[in-house]
Amino acid sequence: MFSGMVSAVATARALTRRGGGARLELTCELGGEPLHAGESVAVDGACLTVAGLIPGGFVADLSPETLARTTLGRLRPGQRVNLERALRVSDRLGGHLVQGHVDATARVLAAQPAGEFVTLRIALPAGLAPEVAGKGSIAVDGVSLTVATAGDGWFEVALVPATLDGTTLGGRRAGDEVNLETDVLAKYVRRALGADARGRSPWEQLGRAED
């Protein structure tokens, strides 16, 4: 479990295909106690297991599911990614509860600077729309953010200077692909209300059935 508060920014050293999966090598400087094999680390929002340590970093294996659902399989050497170590029970929850289970990837539609701030408009896949609401929480590339507003097929988040300086989001531009994870509480509410795979509420489903 994570909070979406990025601990460090790492650099991809290599991505090697292995059967249906891949092995990712990252260089990074993480504070606190040393990393250990078997530890969980969120890499651009995807929970990975540390498979081993290398000088100045670590390696992690990417399953076929991770390659299919996230942007990690398209990393190139030199690209930067956000890292977060798993929460301790005693840690402050500075962001929101993030599982490290990426729901989908999406394109940045626009990056609009406004003084020291930047607003990102990001495409919202229809299947995730019932789980995203204004003033709700969402993780973008593993960063806990508040949804400023949500429209038809998009949502916006405002990036403050600390986020711009401490994560990779300050470098995002229109056309870039990012990992999305919606709020776990929204998932359970949606399940309880019975929204279908296309995001239609029970009332919408009933209305269309009667047409």
Span 153-195, pLDDT tens digits: 999 999 999 999 999 999 999 999 999 999 998 998 888 887 5
How many residues are listed for the chain in this entry? 211
Q: Which of 138, 130, 181, 143 is nearest to 156 (CA)?
A: 138
Kindly state whether residue 2 falls inside one of the protein's structural domains.
Answer: no
> Does the pLDDT of residue 46 top 80, yes or no?
yes
User: 196: pLDDT confidence band, cut at 50, 70 and 90?
Assistant: low
Kindly state whether residue 208 falls inside one of the protein's structural domains.
Answer: no
Count up the domains in the chain and report the number. 2
- Contact by Cβ (8 Å): 46, 5: no
Q: Which of 159, 56, 57, 207 is nearest to 48 (CA)?
A: 57
Q: What is the mean pLDDT of residues 13-24?
A: 94
**Residue 117 and residue 42 in one domain:** no
Kindly state whether residue 200 falls inside one of the protein's structural domains.
Answer: no
pLDDT given at position 90:
75
User: 95: pLDDT confidence band, cut at 50, 70 and 90?
Assistant: confident
How far, in Å, CA of 46 to CA of 181, rounded?
9
> Does the pLDDT of residue 89 top 90, yes or no?
no
pLDDT given at position 91:
80
Q: What is the mean pLDDT of the chain?
A: 91
Q: How many CA atoms lie within 13 A of 196 on its CB side?
A: 9
- Contact by Cβ (8 Å): 44, 70: yes
Q: In whole angstroms, how far apart are CA 197 and each of 154, 200, 202? A: 18, 7, 12
pLDDT given at position 87:
87
**Residue 63 and residue 108 in one domain:** no
Domain with 117, as residue range(s), is 104-193
Beta bridge partners of 60: 24, 50
**Residue 111 and residue 173 in one domain:** yes
Kindly state whether residue 204 falls inside one of the protein's structural domains.
Answer: no
Predicted TM-score of the model (pTM) = 0.89
**Residue 144 and residue 188 in one domain:** yes
3-state secondary structure of 203: helix
Which of residues 85, 116, 147 is at a domain's end? Answer: 85
**Residue 112 and residue 165 in one domain:** yes
